[in-house]
Amino acid sequence: MKLLHLDSSILGDNSASRTISAAIVERLTTADPAIEVDYRDLVADPVEHLTIGSFMALAEGEELKQFLEADIVVIGAGFYNFTIPSQLKAWIDRIIVKGHTFSYNENGPVGLATGKRVIVGLARGGVYNADSPRAGFEHAETLMRGMFGLLGCDVEVIVAEGIAMGDEARRVAVEGALAQAKRIAPEAVGAAA
Ligand SMILES: Cc1cc2nc3c(=O)[nH]c(=O)nc-3n(C[C@H](O)[C@H](O)[C@H](O)COP(=O)(O)O)c2cc1C
């Protein structure tokens, strides 16, 4: 089984999402030590913005190949200016490829990246959950759920929020997310069926 692990926080050792994504990967690889992990730090090793040239060649892209080969994708994402880091968006722009990860029929888009589990560890400075006054500003969890869902993937999102609201709020939020990471199902999509 293959696991692709991506990180996209610019905050290095101070990153909450990197801590959470690492805990998710640890949970999965402890449960199944045979999992083969590919890691990419999208800040240290960035994907360039799309150009017409790279857009026309998407089907041959390394990012698409790695994504399609992975059974599980674990993504660490900070909440930057109301959405995901642009480094992660640049990677996403390489994997949404018509005829490979989605197609269209008379009812609209159809996901082709089925049987894949995507687990996102998301860290938000403020509070944007569905019951909060700022829920309408949340464009990271909604984007990840919507986009990977459209591609046909099973999507889980572990959120730590209130990271910027003081040391105690950060500690509680990260601890809560790490506890959730320890409880995630340890198998690939369909493995338990
Ligand atoms: C460039 C930048 C933009 C940010 N924008 C927001 C924002 O719009 N809303 C918010 O609540 N927090 C914002 N924050 C705070 C981050 O969401 C918080 O630091 C979170 O922990 C980021 O994840 P990371 O620690 O993995 O990088 C921002 C932080 C940075 C560095």
- As to burial, measured by CB atoms within 10 angstroms (0-12 exposed, 13-18 middle, 19+ buried), residue 112 is middle
Query: Does the Cβ of 172 fall within 6 Å of ligand 1?
Result: no
- Separation of CA 21 and ligand 1 centre (Å): 16
Across the range 162-177, mean pLDDT stands at 98
Model confidence over 100-129: pLDDT tens digits?
999 999 999 999 999 999 999 999 999 999
Across the range 36-49, mean pLDDT stands at 98
Which pLDDT belongs to residue 116? Answer: 97
pLDDT band at 189 (very low <50, low <70, confident <90, very high): confident
Q: Whose CA is nearest to atom 30 of ligand 1?
A: 80
Considering only CA atoms, give the Rg of the chain.
16
Q: Whose CA is nearest to atom 10 of ligand 1?
A: 125
Q: Which two tokens stand for residue 150?
A: 């459209």
Query: Does the Cβ of 81 fall within 6 Å of ligand 1?
Result: yes
* CA–CA separation, 193 and 176 (whole Å): 28
Q: Whose CA is nearest to atom 15 of ligand 1?
A: 125
- Separation of CA 71 and ligand 1 centre (Å): 29
- Separation of CA 139 and ligand 1 centre (Å): 13
pTM of the entire predicted model: 0.97
Across the range 165-186, mean pLDDT stands at 97
* CA–CA separation, 122 and 16 (whole Å): 8
Percent of the chain predicted with pLDDT > 90: 96
CATH number for 2-183 (one of 3.40.50.360, 2.40.50.140, 3.40.50.970, 3.20.20.60): it is 3.40.50.360
Model confidence over 138-159: pLDDT tens digits?
999 999 999 999 999 999 999 9
pLDDT band at 8 (very low <50, low <70, confident <90, very high): very high
pLDDT band at 193 (very low <50, low <70, confident <90, very high): very low
pLDDT band at 192 (very low <50, low <70, confident <90, very high): very low
- Separation of CA 82 and ligand 1 centre (Å): 8
